[in-house]
Structure 1
Amino acid sequence: MENIFDSIVIGAGQAGLATAYYLQKNGLNYVVLEASEQTAGSWPNYYDSLTLFSPARYSSLPGYQFPGGPTRYPTKEEVISYLVEYANHFNFNISTGEKVIEVQRKDGIFQISTSKKNVFYTKTVVSATGDFARKFIPDIDGMDVFKGVKIHSSEYKNVENYKGQRIIVVGGGNSAVQIAFELAQVSNVSIATRRPLSFTPQRLLGKDVHFWLRITGVDYLPLEFKASVLDLGIYKQAIINNKPNRKSMFTSFTEQGVIWEDGEEEKVDTVIFATGYRPNILYLKSLNGALSTLDSPLQRKGVSQTINGLYYVGFSWQRSFSSATIRGVGPDAKYVVKHIKRLARIPTSYSHK
């Protein structure tokens, strides 16, 4: 009989690594399956100038402090380096290049099939592929006829290929504003949103906002807030100066550009959709009842409400305000592993050929 793991974690990004930490700490037999060849999650796919929205002091995974000055905002490359170093430091049992294709369940045991045609067996499964891998682009009239460049923000890296263009960035979150601000230094850029932009000061009374979230306990509460851009004063002022400017969302595309809400037609070179992502969990569709009709996880605090032994780490608002962040996945992983320990103690007589 082949090895039946106590738990298999799908995804070796920040959520999967935090889960591996607690599985290993509790002496459970586990493996982490990662589709790519590195343990950095979605971070390598983001734009070059991205920095963490939280200072290094509040950006660590469990058991291993983020290196460097505690008040600085780590760069994308520093985060990637930290995640790789974290996995190596604890020598987690990770198998890379194993993209999970399907998860099935029979007689209380999960069967996981990967792109390498390998099959793994486990008592429990942790879906840790999170909210930031399957890009979402809204369907807008005329998209198919537009002859300009149309990309998701995950495909944008830097300003190099966009100098001197007329560009629209769609979206009102941190990434949309940061990308638009960066491009506005070399191009004519508008941010298109359905609602006015909202800004939150990055620092209050000399302290980063994450300090206040932590000491007030808000970071740990199951609260949801409308998107608001964290700002040191740079972005709001840039919008006031119309560099970039903000416009109400256009209604449709044309061959050469877009039609704005007031009926004006404008020629546009590039449209960048900073419109977020959807959960990357389609490999769970064979588990009848695991997902909603919108392919979202049916879970409460990371525990599946419909499939015994199925868990989640790394999803927005899973247990708290910070659940999907590098600072929030640790507490969620700890909570989930407590549940896994109970099931792992149950002996199994399941066998397979």
Structure 2
Amino acid sequence: MHQVDVAVIGGGQSGLAAARELRARGVAPVILEASAQAAGSWPRYYDSLTLFSPAGHSSLPGRPFGGDPDRYPHRDEVVGYLLRYADHLDADIRTGTRVREVRAADGAFTLALHGGGRLSARAVVAASGTFGRPYRPALPGLADFTGTVLHAAEYHSPRPFAGQRVVVVGAGNSAVQIAAELARHARVTLATRRPVRFARQRALGRDLHWWLTRTGIDPLPVGRFLRTPPAQPVIDDGRYRNAVAAGSPDRRPVFAGADGPKVTWADGTTEEVDTILLATGYRPDLDYLAPLGALDASGQPRHREGLSSTHPGLAYVGLEWQRSLSSNSLRGVGRDAARVAQHLAAHLQRR
């Protein structure tokens, strides 16, 4: 069985950042990426996705994003950036390689691959993100709804929904962006548990992320001070707040029930709906770690700031709120990757 120093599971932004920081510390990583290219989930996001952080605040370690630092890059620009980053990375990247399970064996880890291959690693970085595990909440009556139910992971453009009655469930950035886009082609309600919170994208001529960095709020290790991370607001240049205020989309509390093609709203009214689109987020896609006992009952990793609390030599990069509010973003993942790489390099030296 082939043995490597560190197996990095996932070749998106988190895995690439982890590999770069490991190489900087003299460790040879092997990146195992399930898809055909080292760009993670970015190629599968919806067509109009635009970063909420400017290019100047959206870089991985060692390589600036490039171009106008104040622009907000489009999805395809991010894909191109990640592919260039991978091309310049001195690491063994194996695309089309999906990890089926990880087990501990003789002080190391054995990785079973789909297709029958196996790999031995002295350490493992789980950097597989969340896109492969969309969160679908148990909303009242949803199982009885006979219309179309989709998750935002399956949404690409508004064209298939033209003329439909659509309910978008969620209050985050993607939910609001998708609902506002759909509302130009369909009749759309944004259904949320509470009113949508907006944050100004720019203040006093500076982007919000400049202020977060300048004030030290980011990369403040929020997890040390907050038991439950707060819900992040929708970052807005004014367009989305104005669209919701104008009723395009309109905003209502989440429906009280569904039956057949109809939903029932909190005020008791019912109406037929063509599509319910769940923009309800994701959970860590880490099922391959279940045999290790590294996950809790809900599938969440047992860790402290990215370092496994169950297995020395196992670490995570790219978890939401891993250490700070930007831990799972382009602008913040590099800091966590550096900390994890330093820990793993020391771990390997001790063995």
TM class, shorter-length: over 0.9
Do the aligned partners of 1:164 and 1:186 also contact (CA within 8 Å) in 2? yes
Which residues of 2 match residues 142-161 of structure 1 at below 5 A?
Answer: 142-161=141-160
- 1:22 — aligned with what? 21
2:140 alignment partner, SS class: coil
Amino acid at match of 2:185: V
Q: Does residue 1:108 correspond to 2:107, yes or no?
A: yes
Do the aligned partners of 2:29 and 2:91 also contact (CA within 8 Å) in 1? no
- Deviation at 1:231? 0.5
Do the aligned partners of 2:28 and 2:91 also contact (CA within 8 Å) in 1? no
Q: Does residue 1:199 correspond to 2:198, yes or no?
A: yes
How big is each residue's C-alpha offset from its partner over 1:154-204, in whole Å with a ceiling of 9 and x where there is no partner?
A: 111111111111110000000000000001111111000010110000001
Percentage of identical aligned residues: 47
Do the aligned partners of 1:123 and 1:343 also contact (CA within 8 Å) in 2? no
- Deviation at 1:227? 2.4
Give 2:271's match in structure 1, choosing from 266, 281, 294: 266
Amino acid at match of 1:322: S
How big is each residue's C-alpha offset from its partner over 1:286-320, in whole Å with a ceiling of 9 and x where there is no partner?
A: 112x1111110111111011111110000011111
- Deviation at 1:141? 3.3
How big is each residue's C-alpha offset from its partner over 1:319-340, in whole Å with a ceiling of 9 and x where there is no partner?
A: 1111010111101000001111
Which sits farther off after the overlay, 271-280 or 139-148? Answer: 139-148
- 2:253 — aligned with what? 248
- Deviation at 1:3? 4.2
Task: Provide the rounded CA distance (Å) in 2 between the counterparts of 1:37 and 1:117.
Answer: 18
Task: Provide the rounded CA distance (Å) in 2 between the counterparts of 1:132 and 1:216.
Answer: 31
- 1:350 — aligned with what? none
- Deviation at 1:55? 0.1
2:167 alignment partner, SS class: strand
How big is each residue's C-alpha offset from its partner over 1:39-84, in whole Å with a ceiling of 9 and x where there is no partner?
A: 1111112110001110000000001110211000000000011101
Do the aligned partners of 1:131 and 1:278 also contact (CA within 8 Å) in 2? yes
Do the aligned partners of 1:131 and 1:316 also contact (CA within 8 Å) in 2? no
Task: Provide the rounded CA distance (Å) in 2 between the counterparts of 1:5 and 1:91.
Answer: 15
Task: Provide the rounded CA distance (Å) in 1 between the counterparts of 2:89 and 2:292.
Answer: 32
Large movers: runs of 4+ above 4 Å: none
- 1:4 — aligned with what? 3
Scaled by the length of structure 2, the TM-score of the pair is 0.96
- 2:40 — aligned with what? 41
Q: Does residue 1:311 correspond to 2:319, yes or no?
A: no
Task: Provide the rounded CA distance (Å) in 1 between the counterparts of 2:220 and 2:316.
Answer: 18
Give 2:238's match in structure 1, choosing from 233, 241, 246: 233
Q: How many residues align?
A: 345
Scaled by the length of structure 1, the TM-score of the pair is 0.95
Do the aligned partners of 1:256 and 1:268 also contact (CA within 8 Å) in 2? yes
- 2:225 — aligned with what? none
Which residues of 2 match residues 126-137 of structure 1 at below 5 A?
Answer: 126-137=125-136
How big is each residue's C-alpha offset from its partner over 1:90-131, in whole Å with a ceiling of 9 and x where there is no partner?
A: 242111111110000011010001112111111111000123
Which residues of 2 match residues 167-178 of structure 1 at below 5 A?
Answer: 167-178=166-177
Do the aligned partners of 1:131 and 1:324 also contact (CA within 8 Å) in 2? no
- Deviation at 1:144? 3.1
Do the aligned partners of 1:10 and 1:32 also contact (CA within 8 Å) in 2? yes
Do the aligned partners of 1:30 and 1:93 also contact (CA within 8 Å) in 2? yes
2:159 alignment partner, SS class: helix
1:345 alignment partner, SS class: helix
- 1:215 — aligned with what? 214
Which sits farther off after the overlay, 270-279 or 223-232? Answer: 223-232
- 2:326 — aligned with what? 322
Q: Does residue 1:335 correspond to 2:335, yes or no?
A: no
1:70 alignment partner, SS class: coil
2:328 alignment partner, SS class: coil
- 2:76 — aligned with what? 77
Which sits farther off after the overlay, 190-199 or 219-228? Answer: 219-228
Task: Provide the rounded CA distance (Å) in 2 between the counterparts of 1:321 and 1:159.
Answer: 30
RMSD of Structure 2 on Structure 1 (CA) = 1.1
Do the aligned partners of 1:8 and 1:125 also contact (CA within 8 Å) in 2? yes
Q: Does residue 1:284 correspond to 2:283, yes or no?
A: no
Task: Provide the rounded CA distance (Å) in 1 between the counterparts of 2:60 and 2:132.
Answer: 20
2:144 alignment partner, SS class: coil
Amino acid at match of 1:171: G
Task: Provide the rounded CA distance (Å) in 1 between the counterparts of 2:320 and 2:283.
Answer: 11
- Deviation at 1:133? 2.7
- Deviation at 1:142? 2.8
Task: Provide the rounded CA distance (Å) in 1 between the counterparts of 2:117 and 2:347.
Answer: 24
- 1:94 — aligned with what? 93
Amino acid at match of 1:244: P
Task: Provide the rounded CA distance (Å) in 1 between the counterparts of 2:348 and 2:2.
Answer: 14
1:261 alignment partner, SS class: coil
